[in-house]
A and B are shown apart, each in its own frame.
Chain A
Amino acid sequence: MTTGISMEARVSQSSRIAARVVDGKAVVVIIDTQALHTLNEVGTFVWELLEESSRSVSELVDSVEASFEVERTRAQADLLSFLGQMSELGALEVEEAA
């Protein structure tokens, strides 16, 4: 999946969501669509990394690679796909470097 998101892009949680991690899974409500999504273990890991501040995509890839038994190329592809989906849903904001 091509997301058009670069490794330098900075990712943050949207301000128009409500969210909680319950029983190890992030539950995310997109306020504008009233949709509710639950994330799996890896998605929740990434979500929690974005709790306090924005991160670059490459920082997120580093963290996923370090915390899960996964090759970097696979981690990068999966992460870009996840970020693209979450951005499209309105849960994440992605800002490309100027």
Chain B
Amino acid sequence: MNAPTNFRARVSVMKLLDSLRPEPHFPMSAMVEVADRCNETCVHCYQIQGQKGELDTDEWRTIFDELAEMGVLVLTISGGEPTLRKDFLELVAYARKKRFAVKLFTNGLNMTQPVASRLGELAVQEVQISLYSHDPQVHDGVTCVPGSFDKTIKSVRLLRAANVPVVLKTPVMKLNAGAVDEYVALVSSLGADYMMDSTIDPRENGDASPEALRVDDDTYLETRQHEQLASDRTFEERPLKSSVCGACSGHVHIEANGEMRPCTQLQVPVGHALTDGVRHAWAHNEAGRSIRETTWEDLHACRQCDLRSFCGRCFATARAEVGDALAPYPSACRKARLNYQVERGVAPRITGEDRGLGPYRELAEGEFESFAVNDDGSRATPLWAHPPEELVQLRLRSVSASPED
């Protein structure tokens, strides 16, 4: 769950909910990945399908009941591709019966007029659909499913006709960068909203190959500064006592088999929704509590970095890139420098050796140096911060096999 790297921020109910939490980490939202399968095989996808298994209808109902009792208000139903489940509409209907604000993540391939109408009747709050380009060939190239563009566009039309709010979203990558105007024009003509994000994560098994799809610096800057995408979000001070990201904080994440995770990315078990119970796991799981309580102060180098306010670092990506969730890592440090440039209008000057890695110390306005940090007495790195050995080995193999970024 990365912080501010998105190209377009939407003011949503989720933002408003932040101000209503009775305590800082109170979970007012949850994501349930109800399907461990997908009918697209997107080139950048971080998920590995078909290995976890899926809970049945009654098991999900039990979990929805508990989430509602806990006070969770916004429920995102995701996958894999959730519409592949035969009980998909049944799950949505039950979630609405429990008075959740339901968001649905789908690729739209399975959408039909009756399903769209039913989602409209059920007052689903929003359907988010992945659309990778205005160009059918590019979109189909990403999904690896010929004809998927046409089906996805058709699904948007069906949903809009049923008065269901639709958000089209895309990760910006080498395959689809540019042509923002055309993308926005298409989305607008469909009566939908849009989101773009530059985040491309390694696969959940440690495979780093998707990282080769990340855009270069010029494209990143160009996209972030595009007038259609420029967000009104400004980078804020990051107090040392504040959370680093949303992992295990304010948001429950449950995999298709009921295992709980800190977020979509960080593959650290933090309990099981059925065998432990969501509430119990949320409150008592040791790794979950440790992740939730981790603040910028615990990051042995980043806490000293003067570019911290411009950073959208992620525990999972840090673990994948440098083997330590709490350490600085190249892609985040690079992006922090680019974000500084977008915000301040000038690239930060790096004095001395440029290691491409923080922490950075500001010497004068706009002038920084990177420096190495020795053991500075911060708390011991927790176990969850290091990836299991098998993930390390998989990553090493995939990095050596990947083309240069």
Contacts and interface: CB of A to CB of B under 8 A. Distances in A.
Nearest to A22: B71
A31 B125 contact: yes
Contacts of A32: 123
A23 interface: yes
Contact of A34 (B13, B20, B124): B13
Contacts, number: 50
B49 to A, nearest CB: 30
Given A16-B123, A20-B73, A36 B99 contact: no
A20 B102 CA distance: 13
A52 to B, nearest CB: 12
Most chain A CB neighbours (cut-off 10 Å) among B20, B28, B165: B20
B377 interface: no
Nearest to B126: A34
B295 to A, nearest CB: 24
Interface residues of A, number: 17
Contacts of A22: 20-22, 26, 28, 71, 73
Contacts of B45: none
A22 B250 CA distance: 13
A54 to B, nearest CB: 16
User: In terms of DSSP, what is the predominant structure of the interface of chain B?
Assistant: loop
Interface residues of B, number: 23
A35 B73 CA distance: 14
Interface string B56-81: 00000000000010011110000000
Nearest to B97: A15
A17 B99 contact: yes
Contact of B22 (A16, A18, A23, A29): A23
A20 B74 CA distance: 10
Nearest to B73: A20
Interface in A56-91: none
Nearest to A24: B22
Nearest to B12: A34
A75 B349 CA distance: 66
Nearest to A35: B13
B20 A18 contact: no
B165 A18 contact: no
Contact of A27 (B20, B102, B124): B20
B3 interface: no
A26 to B, nearest CB: 10
B17 interface: yes
A31 B101 contact: yes
A38 B171 CA distance: 34
B330 to A, nearest CB: 39
A20 B123 contact: no
A32 B13 CA distance: 12
A19 interface: yes
Interface in B1-48: 12-13, 16-17, 20-22, 26, 28
Most chain B CB neighbours (cut-off 10 Å) among A16, A21, A25, A29: A29
A80 to B, nearest CB: 25
A29 B73 contact: yes
A27 B71 CA distance: 10
Most chain A CB neighbours (cut-off 10 Å) among B17, B73, B165: B73
B71 A18 contact: no
A69 to B, nearest CB: 26
12 contacts: A15-B96, A16-B123, A18-B125, A20-B72, A20-B99, A22-B26, A22-B71, A22-B73, A27-B17, A29-B73, A34-B12, A38-B20
Given A17-B99, A31-B123, 8 more contacts: A19-B99, A20-B68, A23-B22, A27-B73, A29-B125, A31-B124, A34-B165, A36-B17
